[in-house]
Amino acid sequence: MQKSRKSVRKERFTFLANEEEKRMIDSYLRKYKINNRSRWIRETLITFIIKKLDQDYPTLFNEHDMRR
């Protein structure tokens, strides 16, 4: 199977977590039997971003005007 150039991941993101955050993430991954932590973090982050962008999408009227 050949991957397209767009799907090849070359960029790296690194972040730090404290001990409690790491325990929570590890616990979640174990509970839901998630083996690919990198994929899960990537999908979770992208899903959040897409939802936020969808909420912030410009509209013709502001919220106050639409609730009248």
Q: Which of 50, 25, 27, 21 is nearest to 40 (CA)?
A: 25
Q: Give the Cβ contact number of residue 12 at 10 Å.
A: 5
The answer for residues whose C-beta is within 8 angstroms of residue 44's C-beta and 6 or more apart is none
Residue-level pLDDT at 32:
98
Q: How far apart are CA 9 and CA 19, in angstroms?
A: 28
Q: Across residues 51-68, what is the average pLDDT?
A: 79
The answer for residues whose C-beta is within 8 angstroms of residue 25's C-beta and 6 or more apart is 17, 37
pLDDT in tens, 19-42: 999 999 999 999 999 999 999 999
CB 25 within 8 A of CB 17: yes
